[in-house]
Amino acid sequence: MTRLTLSLPDDLAVLLRREAQRRRTSVSGVAKRAIEEHLRVAADESARLPFAAIGRSGQRHTARNAERILSKEWRRARDR
């Protein structure tokens, strides 16, 4: 694990310490979780699509092919 030093504005540092106290965890833990969420990366799992599986597409393999389908649709939208 890499150790980092961050410089924060005083008001942000106060909010960070308060959140750590509220959660009964370390400031480092709160900062790590916030960074993971911001970057949409979890330390031990791949990126998730929280909206996947909300509805039914009428196709049998939509979940299995979600990445391919989304990539195709995003390319199509970008090219418009």
Which one-letter amino acid corresponds to residue 43?
A: A
Q: Where are the domains of the chain?
A: 9-48, 52-80
Residue reference for tokens 């980092």: 4
Q: What are the pLDDT digits (tens) for 2-22?
A: 899 999 999 999 999 999 999
Q: What are the pLDDT digits (tens) for 29-78?
A: 999 989 888 877 654 555 556 665 566 666 777 777 888 888 888 888 87
Which one-letter amino acid corresponds to residue 62?
A: T
Q: Which two tokens stand for residue 55?
A: 């509805």
Q: SS3 for the chain, per residue?
A: CCCCCCCCCHHHHHHHHHHHHHHCCCHHHHHHHHHHHHHCCECCECCCCCCCCCCCCCCCCCCCCHHHHHHHHHHHHHHC
**Stated pTM of the model:** 0.49
